[in-house]
Amino acid sequence: MRSVLSSTLLFALTALTLILLRPLMPVDETRYMAAAWEMRIGGSAWVPHLNGALYGHKPPLLFWLINLVWALGGIAEFPARLIGPAFAAASVALTGLLARQLWPNQPDRAGAAALILAVSPVWLLFGSTTMFDAVLTCATLLAMLSLWSAAQQPRRAAWAALGAAVAFGVYAKGPVILLHVMPAAFTMALWAGPARPSGRVWAKGLGLALLAALLLVGLWLVPALILGGEEYRTEVLWRQSGGRMVASFAHQKPWWFFLALLPLMIWPFGWTRPGLAMLRPRRLLADPGTRLLALWAGGALTAFSLISGKQAHYLLPEMPALALMLAGGLPTRKWRRRDFWLALPLLAALAAFSAAATGLIPALRKLHDPLPLWSLALGTACLLIGIVGFLRLRSAPVALAALPLTLMIGLHLALSPLLFARYDMTALGRAVGPFDSAGIAVTDGTYHAQLNFAGRLLHPVARLASPEAVAAWRQAHPDGLLLDQNGLSIPGMTPFAALPYRGGTYTLYRSEEVAP
């Protein structure tokens, strides 16, 4: 397992580097930190709140963990940002463990699977964020380990472990865990070996696991539904579960969205001839382990493709399955110049850096925040190191792994000044914090509490959707602060500061009577 631990450490160090090179990103990361902050300052530990309102979109596990970190070491952003990556690192190790269980006679496959997952650009990006998907992936892997154990020996301990894993997933991100686990759980007869349990034994075991999961989830859900009232019950029991299956409330994408992402999800190991060979139907049906992986990944891909709401990170729990598949076909020969096409993403990044340095990217010109030449030079140097390593390193898998590692670090090195200039909420938080007691409002209806944690606000930020609402709020909060992104003049108020925010600017207004 030394190679598995090495890959886990490699991911952890790379994720730490990426975290240091970018701020807490709005709107997702800042929103979840704000929900944890409201729980900290007196909100309910059972029913999450966001900007003073019930927040039924996500279960509370991540918010509990953030508050646990704060209870141990004080309120700070950086330690809280390590929670998601910690679960992602654990998932790398669990991927190696699952490989050992699936193919005990192929010990090298565990290290290969862990390495493929650890350096995947998709895994590095989303696994290093403060989001729910790495925690959900950890739960999914535990469920797969339990399913495999139950297929070998259907003991009560295996079913109890499966129930605990499903409950863990519900606490992490809600009933969506079932979409990741059910395809494999319901198709045991298709993937298990000849010594598999009978259908009756398997059905009874799944029922026991479901009962265990319901009991564990009920420890939180029953009190939360009682305390949250009818609004929270509707949000949790319908909108965020069954409602999403029928019609998306956000993130609508075409059915082929995830299919289009597959090439990126399997790069670079899945772009090689041995890697592609492992994805052929004949190889996927070759043994119980690969059949389990195919049904796990294929079932989730089909289910999420049929749901209109899609985001790239929704299939993060299937990344270990892809890594386990590809681990059976590692390249062995040294790379040559004819293999240079495997580095196409790095070449594209180099071209983009050159365009940014010469002012040829219109979006950057509009922001008036050109990327400094020193950051582009650092990013370029990192990419070139990756390309040289790809051609010079003797171990073919290690040489191939150098490409995604240096791509992700190089992109962060190049873009870091822009990310901190445009996406860091620290300056805005300092600007709005002193007005917390006087009242703070925004005119954009899509406010996602991105200022609440940065400003350590104790009161909700008002969202004003009309000029009449602005006028009424100004009368009620004469000493308050108004933030606007539209650049329009606001009667009775004077702008006194402007701070960048993502692709625009937040202009800060105060009443004319008190404006400096």
The alpha carbon torsion through 160, 164, 165, 171 (nearest 10 deg) reads 160
- What does the pLDDT read at residue 401? 97
The whole-number pLDDT of residue 380 equals 98
Report yes or no: 172 and 131 within 8 Å, Cβ to Cβ: no
Q: Is residue 333 part of a domain?
A: no
Residue 280 lies in a domain: yes
Q: What is the pLDDT of residue 212?
A: 97
Residue-number span of the structural domain to which 465 is assigned? 426-511
| Residue 139 reports pLDDT greater than 80 | yes
Same domain, 343 and 313: no
Does residue 303 sit within a domain? yes
Q: Please give the full DSSP string across 243-300, using - where no structure is assigned.
A: HHHHS-SS-B--TTHHHHHHHHHHTTGGGSHHHHHHTSHHHHTSSHHHHHHHHHHHHH
- Is the model more confident about 193 or about 453? 453
Is residue 233 located within the same domain as residue 205?
yes
Does residue 351 belong to any structural domain of this protein?
yes
Burial status of residue 96 (CB atoms within 10 A of its CB: 0-12, 13-18, 19 or more): buried
Are 432 and 414 found together in one domain?
no
Note whether residue 516 is domain-resident: no
Same domain, yes or no, for 112 and 226? yes
Distance CA 221, CA 227 (A): 10
**Residues 283 and 179 grouped into a single domain:** yes
Cross-strand partners of 309? 252
Three-class secondary structure assignment of 2-55 = HHHHHHHHHHHHHHHHHHHCCCCCCCHHHHHHHHHHHHHCCCCCCCCEECCEEC
Residues 251 and 196 in one domain: yes
Confidence at 134, pLDDT banded by 50, 70, 90: very high
Tell me what percent of the residues of the chain surpass a pLDDT of 70: 97
Mean pLDDT of 232-240: 72
For residue 395, which amino acid is it? S
pLDDT tens for residues 111-129? 999 999 999 999 999 999 9
Same domain, 293 and 392: no
Average pLDDT over residues 311-334: 94
Identify the domain boundary among 406, 422, 438. 422
Angle at 446 between CA 22 and CA 493, to 5 degrees: 100
Q: Tokens standing for 282?
A: 């004949």
Q: How many domains does the chain have?
A: 3
pLDDT at 252: 77
Alpha-carbon Rg for the chain in angstroms? 25
The SS3 assignment for 415 reads helix
Other beta carbons within 10 angstroms of residue 306's beta carbon come to 9
The end-to-end CA distance of the chain, in Å, is: 64
Residues 28 and 42 in one domain: yes
Where helices occur in 52-82 by DSSP H, the ranges are 61-73, 77-81
| Mean pLDDT, residues 272-283 | 94
Q: How far apart are CA 285 and CA 279, in angstroms?
A: 10
Residue 516's pLDDT is 64
Residue 268 has pLDDT above 80, yes or no: yes
Mean pLDDT of 431-458: 94
118 in the same domain as 90: yes
122 assigned to some structural domain: yes
Beta-sheet pairing, 493-501 with 504-511: antiparallel
Cα–Cα distance for residue pair 297/476, rounded to 1 Å: 55
249 plus 394 within the same structural domain: no
Say which amino acid occupies 39.
Answer: M
Same domain, 318 and 373: no
Q: Does 146 lie in the same domain as 30?
A: yes
- Helical ranges in 103-132 per DSSP H: 108-119, 121-127
pTM equals 0.95
Mean pLDDT value of segment 281-291: 94
In percent, the amount of the chain with pLDDT more than 90 equals 82
The stretch 350-371 carries a mean pLDDT of: 87
Q: Is the dihedral of CA 247, 180, 291, 327 positive or negative?
A: positive
- Quick count: other Cβ atoms within 10 Å of Cβ 27? 15
Helices (H), 83-155: 83-102, 108-119, 121-127, 133-152
SS (H, E, C) 302-346: HHHHHCCECCHHHHHHHHHHHHHHHHHHCCCCCCCHHHHHHHHHH
In a domain, 311, yes or no: yes
Pairing of strands 504-511, 481-484: antiparallel
The per-residue pLDDT of the chain, averaged, comes to 93
101: Cβ contacts below 8 Å, ≥ 6 apart: 145, 148, 149
